[in-house]
Amino acid sequence: MAYIKWTSDLDTGISVIDGQHRKIVDYINMLNAAKENGDKSVVAEVLEQLADYTMSHFAFEEGLQEQAGYQYLQAHKRVHAIFIKKVAEYQSRMTNGEDVIDQVLATLKRWLVNHIKNDDADYVSAVRGMTPDNRGDKRRNWFTKRLRRLLGSPPAA
Ligand SMILES: [Fe+2]
C-alpha cells in the first residue's frame, strides 16, 4: 500500500509543478517499499535519488519565483535549504548505521504535505497565469517569453 496517496488538495493548479510534486511522492512511496523489502543499500540508493530530484525541483521552483518577482523568495529558499540539510543529516546517520528510516519517512511525508499546502500554495498564486498551462492569458511580454524558455516549452506561434 502506498505510504502517501496523492489527493486533490495537493494540486497547486500548475501542472508542471504538480507533476514534479507527484514524482517526489512516488519517490517517497518507493522509499517505503524499499524499507519493507529490508534491503538497506536499496533504501540508501532511493533516498539519494529522492534527494537529487527534490533539489532540482527546488531549483526549478526558485527560478519560477525569481522570474515572477515573488516577494517571499528568500524565505522560501531558506525553507528549502533547511529541508535539504535535514535530509543530508539523515543520510549521514544512515551511513553511520543508525536505523532512522521510519523517522525519515514520517518527516518527508509531514514536511512535503505541509510545504505544498502552505508555502507552495502561496507562491503559486503569485506565478499563476505565467506558465504554459495558463495560455488563456494572451499578454505577451519579455517576462512570459523568458518564463517559457525557463520552462522549456516551445515559443508560442
Ligand atoms: Fe517549495
- Residue 107 is assigned to a structural domain of this protein: yes
For residues 73-80, average pLDDT:
97
For the stretch 43-63, what's the b/e string if a residue is b when 16 or more beta carbons lie within 10 angstroms of its beta carbon?
A: bbebbeebbeebeebbeebbe
Average pLDDT, the chain: 88
**50 closest CA partner among 1, 10, 101:** 101
Asked if residue 79 has pLDDT above 50, the reply is yes
C-alpha of residue 120 to centroid of ligand 1, in Å:
5
C-alpha of residue 90 to centroid of ligand 1, in Å:
20
- Residue 6 is assigned to a structural domain of this protein: no
pLDDT tens for 86-141 read 999 999 999 999 999 999 999 999 999 999 999 999 999 888 756 555 544 444 45
> The domain containing residue 139 runs over which residues?
13-151
Please report, rounded to a whole number, the percentage of residues in the chain having pLDDT higher than 70.
82
- Residue 2 is assigned to a structural domain of this protein: no
C-alpha of residue 153 to centroid of ligand 1, in Å:
21
C-alpha of residue 115 to centroid of ligand 1, in Å:
6
DSSP result, 56-85: HHHHHHHHHHHHHT-TTHHHHHHHHHHHHH
C-alpha of residue 123 to centroid of ligand 1, in Å:
8
Q: Which residue has the higher pLDDT, 150 or 41?
A: 41
C-alpha of residue 39 to centroid of ligand 1, in Å:
30
C-alpha of residue 89 to centroid of ligand 1, in Å:
20
Q: Which residue has the higher pLDDT, 23 or 131?
A: 23
In one letter, which amino acid is 97?
G
User: C-alpha cell of 54?
Assistant: 527534490
CATH assignment of the domain containing 30: 1.20.120.50
